[in-house]
Each structure stands twice: as C-alpha cells, then as structure tokens.
Amino acid sequence: MAKPRQVVRDGASHALLDDVAKQIIEQLQEDGRRPYASIGKAVGLSEAAVRQRVQRLLDAGVMQIVAVTDPLQLGFPRQAMIGLRTTGDLEAIADRLAELEELDYVVITAGSFDLLTEVVCRNDDHLLEVISRLREVEGVVSTEAFVYLKLRKQTYTWGTA
C-alpha cells in the first residue's frame, strides 16, 4: 500500500492564485471527478489548459485530489481527537507523531494543548494502544482523548480566498 502524502503547512503563507485557478479548485471541490472538458467550459479554458493548470496546482501542493472515505464503512468505528501537552522541541515531537499510521491529523496549536491529533481506530482497545504509543514519544507530557460519538458535519468545500 502506498504511503499517504504528508502535507506540512507553515503559518498563513499561501500561493497566489488567479481567479481562474480559484474557479478550477471550486469546481473540483464540488466534484473531484469532474471532467476537465466540463471544467474548461465553466471557466473559459480548453480541456488541455485545465489539465495543465490542475497539474501545476497539484505539483505546488495547493491541492490534492483524493477519495474521502467513511471510516465507519471501512471498519474503523472509533475516532478521537487527542490533545497533547509537551515539553521540548515541539516541531520535532509533531514530526515524530506524524509518522504514526493511525494519526490522520497532527497540528501545532495555541491554547491548553500544544498539539492536536486525530486518530481513526478499529475499536477501543486499538485506541488505547495508540494513546499508549503517543505517551511513549519523548517530550509528550500528557494526553487527553475526546472520543467522537456522532459526526454532525464534515466538509472540504470551504472554497478559495
């Protein structure tokens, strides 16, 4: 199985996107499988031009085109957000945590936690195992798990700025 691409974003820096690039992104946020010819008609470009622009956006890390799955349907009924308090080199700790397969989200935060991670697990025993492994990481002082009981909203269509 191919290892998922890790995305590292620093601060508020962002790519300068023209209006056409933003329209292409919005078209793909609505339907990631939308044909380039359809996108071209919507934004006023040829299919080939859309293909080139999409490839540039992918290469620059501006976007990814992925299949978003439902963990429950795939046999992962236990999801949780885990807050971590740490000591030492925060970025190095975040990098070590990002290597753990079960963590699909690792973010450095301000507030009562230094890091937030999201995990997807097979069951409560698996969640307990993951939490134990998090606690073993050098620099992790404490963890607090927030188990998801019911998902009310999840979206990836925030558009473009």
Q: What is the CATH number of the domain that holds 131?
A: 3.30.70.920
Cα–Cα distances in Å, from 122 out to 1, 24, 34, 147? 18, 37, 33, 13
Q: Are residues 52 and 81 in the same domain?
A: no
Structure tokens at 11: 């601060």
Q: pLDDT, tens digit, for every residue of 35-45?
A: 999 999 999 99
Q: Are residues 98 and 141 in the same domain?
A: yes
pLDDT, average across residues 116-138: 95
161 occurs within a structural domain? no
Q: Any idea which of 27-31, 111-115, 136-140 has the lowest mean pLDDT?
A: 27-31
The answer, yes or no, to whether residue 28 has pLDDT greater than 80, is yes
Q: pLDDT, tens digit, for every residue of 47-94?
A: 999 999 999 999 988 888 887 777 777 777 889 999 999 999 999 999
Spell out the residues 6+ positions from residue 131 whose beta carbon is closer than 8 angstroms to its own: 82, 143, 145
| pTM of the entire predicted model | 0.72
154 occurs within a structural domain? no
Q: Are residues 50 and 81 in the same domain?
A: no
The answer, yes or no, to whether residue 16 has pLDDT greater than 80, is no
pLDDT band at 12 (very low <50, low <70, confident <90, very high): very low
Please state the domain count of the chain.
Answer: 2
Q: Are residues 55 and 76 in the same domain?
A: no
CATH number at residue 43: 1.10.10.10
Q: What pLDDT sits at residue 65?
A: 87
Terminal alpha carbon distance of the chain: 35
Domain that holds residue 53: 19-60
7 occurs within a structural domain? no
29 occurs within a structural domain? yes
Q: Are residues 83 and 143 in the same domain?
A: yes
Q: Are residues 48 and 80 in the same domain?
A: no
Q: What pLDDT sits at residue 151?
A: 80
